[in-house]
Chains A and B, each alone.
Chain A
């Protein structure tokens, strides 16, 4: 195993022997996973931590006592216990926590409610609802906040008044237009799809016999929900809660847009500011504090899950599913949901699409319609002669790269997520499982930019068996997989927790190796979860920007870096054209995985 030159059969024999020796796949995979996690995550974090205790040359700007290269607590004191701390840390941290909790709570109500309606009731238009539910997530979250401003902008930030102001001549109060409320609402609209998919997958893999039995025993609908359904999905719900909490407190675009007019800062915006002002160490201290906060959240999560029994509901036995009848609420409920979804999903999308055909922004007349931004040639009067997207050679390169990056990264991420999720779910009692759980969560908390900066120096030259990845797609793929680990592992473990160990034990007795079990039992039974994860990672990777922008070289340009370039130049229509293309790709992949992956969110695993 140590030398690669040995013949394959010998290596594999050694592998087999190691397997037999270790016996428990949780330990085997767990330890391998830990090594990988250590190299890709812990090491970068440690490096970051180290920098916070050392004076840098740049610190001479902050204080005269700086001695570059020497150890110091200055940066921590500055952030936590100086006259700057209140505005630099404590106030933003309170804002972040408030936003985090509010977004998680609202997303939970929205996402779970929707998931329940779609998977367990006889509500009509399920497929449409499931499809619409994913759309807000396809749009970058700042698009939703922009839409918010279009409606609720008041006089404070000037410009064209918001629709509410023009129509009703009421100036919305500042709290409605900017800051906490709109930040929470636009993040919730964007993120509740996580709940929808995670909890939806758990719900639909649940055997409905439990509910039927309870129903026959005379339990009311609410009692069934409260006593049976709810306890069963609680692990997935808590996973979702933590995920969205951390996503929300580390989001940057939305708070920057909606928070600045009312001086509403979050840790993420302070952190970004430190980065841009080249106060890297301060940024590192803030990131580490963010990590600590999220670790605390995970710890709480584990305390709660740990105290509950984990219920096994998938036994591999097919069962007919009966759906809760909504009765006379059937149509009104569907109608309300559809209206709501059109509001948050379709309208922003259509507005963006229409804009791509408008030669001049904001001029609503037929003569202003044009395909110029799609396939027009170079016209020096428009966008200083930038060609239509489809005519631009950079586009085809970026298109190819984006597909490559998202496709490969999401497949690998889904499988790794399930494998590590297995370790977490089955190894809950062992330190290995717990360690994998904790560590795999870190990447969400390291800002994409910091992670990328560390990765440049880690992979710029060959290290041991790993070649110099910098400048290649592999590095982009690697960092995407690492960055998505928190989500993939949570989803994986939530899925594995639903599956009875007896299935595996039976296979083991018949002599199936772990890989066979993984391939023949776990992967097929978790197919829906796998496909959901694949989809979300794919979408995330298609949209990802902050993370990869530093690692991208001209040859590895992607669609998002192209939108960045257009957006910076103020070419809004071109930006929107590419956004539309990204969304089209994602929708196509979504539909394909529904059709060929049979990953219909509205059907259960057992109900084939």
Chain B
């Protein structure tokens, strides 16, 4: 009755099914409790307890923090032995750099995984706690200081700055920041340059004036920590915000049940009809597609998409009291990187090598993003050191961000 075509299929499926049944009975046995099972459950208990981030800070931290000087040739020789390397990156720019790298250093294959910064933290933490060391190079953005607190301090991500390149690196990335950042962006106010000939906003408090009622867009800080970091930084530096208020309105700020000028700014922004959209691109679509008098908060680097997306948007690079807080794309070696030499070689490549002219730097040196090296010329009108940015205070952000998030949620 059945068509012959199907005669074998169920048998095959059944075989698979039986295998699964056997597998589950087997692991079931183990779980029901004898000597073996107790070791199993203690294993998993171990892994779950050690998944708390600061569990074993000592063991990893020392492994690569002092960088012995290797020449590029030595690294390349070793790297060829290793044959490949694995990169976890929050940015697709790593992919572009990988392509040129493989041409320049044949024999080494670069595998790039794109992962969001917070997921990357979970992934690497779990992997390393379980004794798996997969990535060699980490290219990541911060998550409100969590990368520093949970990954760098415990030694999961390892600082790497070659001695021959270090002298050319701008502060804070030479000695003060958690690592060298290959590019720096920030969140700032964008306007439509076909509507306004000059920046319509010079002070953050301009956004709460009637002129911009219902005309300020932002990407949702609740789903994008980097946007929250900007607001959190305003709360941390509330004195700056209060001073800017006085400069704008000529009188001291009056707090309406909020703790300080930073919170007050968020509150008044909401009262002025702030529109929250999902992502940075949505914001720029909102103000950039038609002739619009609205302004929006987006990532400085997005200015490079103008051509492609048909926008006419410009970022404002000087706002009072400070333009923004830097959002850095950090480069790290991963703890116990399995292909360490290749990893170092690739990081050097992305840095643009000793002279800062290497091709690997190109994807990072773009309009709207800055390479913090004194010997690299920026494509932007403003030099990196002239940017008026708040200092990135990872620890303060880490501790304040949840409170600001709560405050934000309550405004809705």
* Binary flags per residue of A186-218, CB closer than 8 Å to B gives 1, else 0: 000000000000000000000000000000000
**Contact of A395 with B by CB under 8 A:** no
Residues of chain A contacted by B217 (CB below 8 angstroms): 157-158
Among the 9-residue stretches B110-118, B244-252, B335-343, B368-376, the one with 4 or more Cβ atoms under 8 Å from chain A is B110-118
Residues of chain B contacted by A518 (CB below 8 angstroms): 14
* CB <8 Å contact, A159 and B406: no
Which chain B residues (21-38) contact chain A, with CB distance < 8 Å? 21, 23-31, 36
Residues of chain A contacted by B121 (CB below 8 angstroms): 278
* CB <8 Å contact, B290 and A160: yes
Give, as a whole number of angstroms, the nearest-CB distance from B102 to chain A. Answer: 11
**Contact of B126 with A by CB under 8 A:** yes
* CB <8 Å contact, A383 and B308: yes
* CB <8 Å contact, B28 and A36: yes
**Contact of B104 with A by CB under 8 A:** no
Contact of A261 among B40, B277, B294 (CB under 8 A): B277
Give, as a whole number of angstroms, the nearest-CB distance from A324 to chain B. Answer: 28
Question: Complex: how many Å from CA A177 to CA B151?
Answer: 42
Residues of chain B contacted by A47 (CB below 8 angstroms): 44, 48
Contact of B126 among A43, A457, A555 (CB under 8 A): A457
Give, as a whole number of angstroms, the nearest-CB distance from A418 to chain B. Answer: 9
Query: Given A84-B410, A460-B126, does the pair A158, B286 have CB atoms closer than 8 Å?
Result: yes
**Contact of B129 with A by CB under 8 A:** yes
Give, as a whole number of angstroms, the nearest-CB distance from B41 to chain A. Answer: 10
* CB <8 Å contact, A277 and B115: no
Question: Complex: how many Å from CA A32 to CA B54?
Answer: 39
Question: Complex: how many Å from CA A269 to CA B275?
Answer: 17
Residues of chain A contacted by B276 (CB below 8 angstroms): 260-261, 263
**Contact of B127 with A by CB under 8 A:** yes
Give, as a whole number of angstroms, the nearest-CB distance from A165 to chain B. Answer: 11
Instruction: Find the A residue at minimum CB distance from B121.
Output: A278
* CB <8 Å contact, B25 and A1: yes
* CB <8 Å contact, B92 and A158: no
**Contact of B131 with A by CB under 8 A:** yes
**Contact of A24 with B by CB under 8 A:** no
**Contact of A23 with B by CB under 8 A:** no
* CB <8 Å contact, A461 and B131: yes
* CB <8 Å contact, A471 and B134: yes
Instruction: Find the B residue at minimum CB distance from A556.
Output: B113
User: Chain A CB within 10 Å — which of B122, B285, B292 has the most?
Assistant: B122
Give, as a whole number of angstroms, the nearest-CB distance from A523 to chain B. Answer: 5
Residues of chain A contacted by B146 (CB below 8 angstroms): 58, 278
* Binary flags per residue of B219-261, CB closer than 8 Å to A gives 1, else 0: 0101111001000000000000000000000000000000000
Question: Complex: how many Å from CA A47 to CA B131?
Answer: 20
Give, as a whole number of angstroms, the nearest-CB distance from A293 to chain B. Answer: 20
* Binary flags per residue of B334-355, CB closer than 8 Å to A gives 1, else 0: 0000000000000000000000
For the complex, would chain A's binding face be called helix, strand, loop or mixed by DSSP majority? helix
Residues of chain B contacted by A265 (CB below 8 angstroms): 412
Residues of chain B contacted by A273 (CB below 8 angstroms): 222-223, 405
* CB <8 Å contact, B224 and A458: no
* CB <8 Å contact, A29 and B21: yes
Question: Complex: how many Å from CA A550 to CA B398?
Answer: 23
**Contact of B74 with A by CB under 8 A:** no
Question: Complex: how many Å from CA A368 to CA B9?
Answer: 49
Contact of A461 among B29, B96, B130 (CB under 8 A): B130
Question: Complex: how many Å from CA A518 to CA B11?
Answer: 11
Residues of chain A contacted by B132 (CB below 8 angstroms): 460-461, 468, 470-471
**Contact of B196 with A by CB under 8 A:** no
Instruction: Find the A residue at minimum CB distance from B286.
Output: A158
Question: Complex: how many Å from CA A412 to CA B19?
Answer: 11
Give, as a whole number of angstroms, the nearest-CB distance from B127 to chain A. Answer: 6
* CB <8 Å contact, B129 and A457: yes
* CB <8 Å contact, A565 and B131: no
Residues of chain B contacted by A385 (CB below 8 angstroms): 96
* CB <8 Å contact, A57 and B52: yes
Among the 9-residue stretches A60-68, A222-230, A234-242, A494-502, the one with 4 or more Cβ atoms under 8 Å from chain B is A60-68
* Binary flags per residue of B369-408, CB closer than 8 Å to A gives 1, else 0: 0000000000000000000000000000011111101100
**Contact of A275 with B by CB under 8 A:** yes
Instruction: Find the A residue at minimum CB distance from B293.
Output: A158
**Contact of B289 with A by CB under 8 A:** yes
**Contact of B358 with A by CB under 8 A:** no
Residues of chain B contacted by A553 (CB below 8 angstroms): 86, 111, 113, 134
Give, as a whole number of angstroms, the nearest-CB distance from A53 to chain B. Answer: 13
Contact of A277 among B16, B95, B294, B401 (CB under 8 A): B401
Residues of chain B contacted by A4 (CB below 8 angstroms): 26
Contact of B3 among A39, A84, A466, A598 (CB under 8 A): A598
* CB <8 Å contact, B402 and A279: yes
Query: Given A57-B52, A550-B115, does the pair A33, B24 have CB atoms closer than 8 Å?
Result: yes
Instruction: Find the B residue at minimum CB distance from A419.
Output: B17
* Binary flags per residue of B296-323, CB closer than 8 Å to A gives 1, else 0: 0000000001001110000000000000
Question: Complex: how many Å from CA A468 to CA B28?
Answer: 18
Residues of chain A contacted by B134 (CB below 8 angstroms): 471, 553
* Binary flags per residue of A562-605, CB closer than 8 Å to B gives 1, else 0: 00110011100000000000000000000000001010000000
Query: Given A465-B26, A524-B2, A598-B3, does the pair A470, B127 have CB atoms closer than 8 Å?
Result: yes
By Cβ-Cβ distance, the 3 closest A-B pairs, closest first, are: A35-B28, A460-B130, A554-B111
Which residues of A does B touch, CB under 8 Å?
A: 1-2, 4, 29, 32-33, 35-36, 38-39, 43, 47, 50, 56-58, 60-62, 68-69, 83-84, 87-88, 156-161, 256-257, 260-261, 263, 265, 269-270, 272-273, 275-279, 360-363, 382-385, 411-412, 415-416, 419, 449, 453, 456-458, 460-461, 463-466, 468, 470-471, 515, 518-519, 523-524, 527, 549-550, 552-555, 557, 561, 564-565, 568-570, 596, 598
Q: Taking A36-B23, A277-B225 as given, write out 10 further A-B residue pairs in contact, using a Cβ cutoff of 8 Å, ordered by the A residue number.
A: A43-B44, A60-B399, A84-B409, A158-B285, A159-B292, A279-B405, A515-B14, A519-B11, A554-B113, A570-B308
A-B contact pairs, 17 of them (CB 8 A): A83-B410, A87-B409, A87-B410, A158-B217, A158-B286, A273-B222, A277-B143, A277-B402, A278-B118, A278-B143, A279-B405, A457-B44, A457-B51, A471-B134, A524-B6, A569-B92, A598-B3
